[in-house]
Amino acid sequence: MFSIEFCIFNIFSLQETYEQKRSEHLAELQKKEEEMRQMFVVRVKEKETELKDAEKDVRILFILECCSSSLWGSTCRGVNIQPI
């Protein structure tokens, strides 16, 4: 049979193994969380660029429409078109 000292040693060894595995798991989770956060920031910046480009396109289309129509003299003069 096993001695009491052997059983106590195994309990402490098991506790140490558990704590080590837990620490490794938490570190891995933190790393994944940081990677996800960074990817989110990248996607937000890409979407911001995409929306700015779309806004430019809309402004250009609006200006071209006003220039090509007879509305330029009456309606479009009152519109404040900001530079991009």
Does position 3 have pLDDT exceeding 90, yes or no? Answer: no
- Give the separation between CA 50 and CA 58, rounded to whole angstroms: 12
pLDDT in tens, 21-77: 999 999 999 999 999 999 999 999 999 999 999 999 999 988 888 777 655 555 555
Q: What angle do CA 39, 43, 45 make, to 5 degrees?
A: 115
What pLDDT was estimated at residue 57?
93
Query: At residue 79, what are phi and psi to the nearest 5 degrees?
Result: -90, 130
Q: Indicate the pTM of the whole model.
A: 0.58
* Confidence band, pLDDT 50/70/90 cuts, at residue 6: low
* Confidence band, pLDDT 50/70/90 cuts, at residue 15: confident
